[in-house]
Amino acid sequence: MSDLTKEQIEEINSQRSKVEGTKRVVSNGLEEIIYQSLPVLDHGFIRVIDYMGDDSSIVQAARVSYGKGTKHVSADKGLINYLMRHRHSTPFEMCEIKYHVKLPIFVARQWIRHRTASVNEYSARYSVLDKEYYIPEPQNLASQSSSNKQGRGSVLEGDDAKRVLDLLIEDSEKVYEDYEKMLEGESQIGLSRELARMNLSLNYYTQWYWKIDLHNLLHFLSLRADSHAQFEIRAYADVMLQTVKKWVPLTFEAFENYRIGGAYLNSKSINVIKKIIKGEKVTQNNSGLSSREWEELSNLIDLSK
């Protein structure tokens, strides 16, 4: 569960209690959770702070019409499916959303590689960071993968898992203790905040506001909600997917069908499938595919038959 201060809870309750009239498009689903803190990991959260547009805004932009799209949901759904299927990205860029995210620094450094958003991060030069650090659940402690240089292997168990958790907690406590000493400890060192912060480990939490258009958000989620993504950033992506579902349900359904549940095939793979449909015997040797391409295609369809 995310840790919120009394002041933060009061601020959220105050924001959520306000009802203001507007002539702009409103997403009823997103209004249900706006400003609400959605917990992620042990101390993190995601909050929707603001947004612009909904499914009808995408349809309106695609048709360059005056109204909110057609009166038939099926027609709007069909158009959104077409846009998603054929990768017409501009209409989706007409919708924007702003999140408040609390996340471990090592996740933030991975996240920031997506350069299509506007970001403003909590300043540890200006303020003192809270004593909040991420400790994985035992089931998420894994050894280095032998086949993937940036992936995880088997889960650590017993004494190995306990030793890792003990080290993580011990180190996290120690660096924060020294962080406080350098700032204003018994020795009164009085080191500047911008220098003292460099002592903190990457599992300490930071916060930022992150604003992005819907097209680029969906690209981010297609990568970070994928089963191959690192667990910690995937945890945030999974929560964000649920906010997208509430915000633009027709777009979310199309995204599920054509991106998350879809697959992209090169011309050689398509030829293999055509041969199989015709009843021809295809092996990796006569397919023209590399061993990795053959394995990836095998994961999509059963090539053993």
Per-residue pLDDT of 245-278, as tens digits, reads 999 999 999 999 988 877 788 898 898 889 888 8
Chain-centroid distance of CA 276 in Å reads: 37
* Cα separation, 222 vs 293, whole angstroms: 20
Domain boundaries 6-129+204-260, CATH class: alpha beta
Q: What is the predicted pLDDT for the residue at 3?
A: 66
* Cα separation, 134 vs 170, whole angstroms: 12
Q: What is the predicted pLDDT for the residue at 150?
A: 61
For 32, the 3-state DSSP assignment is: coil
Question: For this structure, is 224 an active site residue?
Answer: yes
Q: Which member of 47, 224, 234, 259 is catalytic?
A: 224
Which residues, at least 6 apart from 173, have a Cβ–Cβ distance to it below 8 Å? none
**CB atoms near residue 253 (< 10 Å):** 16
Chain-centroid distance of CA 19 in Å reads: 29
Q: What is the predicted pLDDT for the residue at 8?
A: 76
CA pseudo-torsion sign 251, 13, 49, 122: negative
* Cα separation, 276 vs 74, whole angstroms: 35
pTM score, whole prediction? 0.86
Q: What is the predicted pLDDT for the residue at 112?
A: 94
Pick out the chain residues at pLDDT < 70.
1-3, 65-71, 143-153, 185-189, 303-305
